[in-house]
Amino acid sequence: MSSLTRLVVVLLFDGVDLLDVTGPPEVFSLLQRETGRGQGYEVVLAAETLEAVTTSAGVRVLPDITFHEASTRSIDTLMVPGSVEVDDEHRVHALADPTVVHWVKELAGGARRVASVCVGAHLLAAAGLLDGRRATTHWSTAQQLAAEHPAIEVDDDPIFIRDRRGREIWTGAGLTACLDLSLALVAEDHGETVALRVARQLVMYLKRPSGQSQFSVPIEPLSTSRRIDDIRHHITEHLTEHLTVADLAAHAHVSERHLTRIFTTELGQTPAAYIESARIEIARHRLESTDDTLERIATTSGFHTPDTLIRAFRRKLNTTPTEYRNRFRHTT
């Protein structure tokens, strides 16, 4: 390996998401094609043994070296992908195998920088590498990450986050965001001009517009009381009406303060925030599946005016309804 070549070690283990493993090497390989220079990356896949690993897609991948061998190398970038399981109610839960967590901690100690891909952030968290830091992960497991590791400032919107406090640690959002994160690493190492050329080869933005909140769907709480379920149903049935905390409290036969406490405790947000999120979901569906005007969508989703709808989209999704429709409109 040339002194100008950076060693990237990608962890490999049973059940790992395939794109998390193969995406970053594809980005790094295109750098050499674009520049024609040797100062690129050497990517190796490391696993507990040299036997084939079965990914979540069922594709078997052969590691290049073992975790132990990797620990003897001078690692520039340690990339940590993740894995999940899905329960009977289709809820996604990130996994953190103790053996993999041990090696994450061991290998991170000798790496210049560490980057997690998608739910790989849960492995970094379990290894204690994200305490006191701001981090992201796939939107579907962000709630889990925040609940299991309260010392982490979890932000589920950014495509990736770079935290330079102490050791440089990057965390990336879901699946294809591994390409965005890898492009950002290329830009840091070789400049944005070169990274832009690689992005063009991938038919990608160098910097993706907005965050992953545009792609997320509402995450149902793992468990809620019958009372809160009744209130949520009432909200859904009356979204086009002028809903206030006082109205909801009267419906639930509790004080306004108690209602706010129930929402904050069980849903992690205020009643007003929940109502706005529910209205946004209705609007998103209409934007994706109909040709309704913004005036019509604002009315049917409870925002009443296009201006209110636009402000809500900018605040929650960092985009406009028109931009959202252009990106996600279903065509037949």
Distances, alpha carbon 267 to alpha carbons 18, 136, 220, 260, in Å: 33, 20, 9, 10
Q: Which of 80, 118, 121, 287 is catalytic?
A: 118
Under 8 Å CB-to-CB from 301, ≥6 apart: which residues? 239, 240, 279, 280, 282, 283, 286, 309
Q: Strand 111-116 and strand 53-54: pairing?
A: unpaired
User: 84 pairs with which residues across the strands?
Assistant: 94
Q: Collapse the DSSP code of 220 into the 3-class scheme (helix H, G, I; strand E, B; otherwise coil) and give the result.
A: coil
178 labelled catalytic = no
Residues 32 and 40 sit within 8 Å (Cβ to Cβ): yes
One-letter identity of residue 77: T
User: Residues 65, 71, 77, 83: what is their CA dihedral angle, to the nearest 10 degrees?
Assistant: 60
DSSP E strands, 201-242 = none
Return the structure tokens found at 304.
């009443």
Q: Collapse the DSSP code of 277 into the 3-class scheme (helix H, G, I; strand E, B; otherwise coil) and give the result.
A: helix
φ/ψ of residue 61, rounded to 5: -125, 135
DSSP structure class, residue 230: H
Return the structure tokens found at 178.
């591994």
Return the structure tokens found at 17.
């998401």
User: What's the rounded Cα separation, in Å, for the pair 101 and 125?
Assistant: 9
Active site amino acids: 118
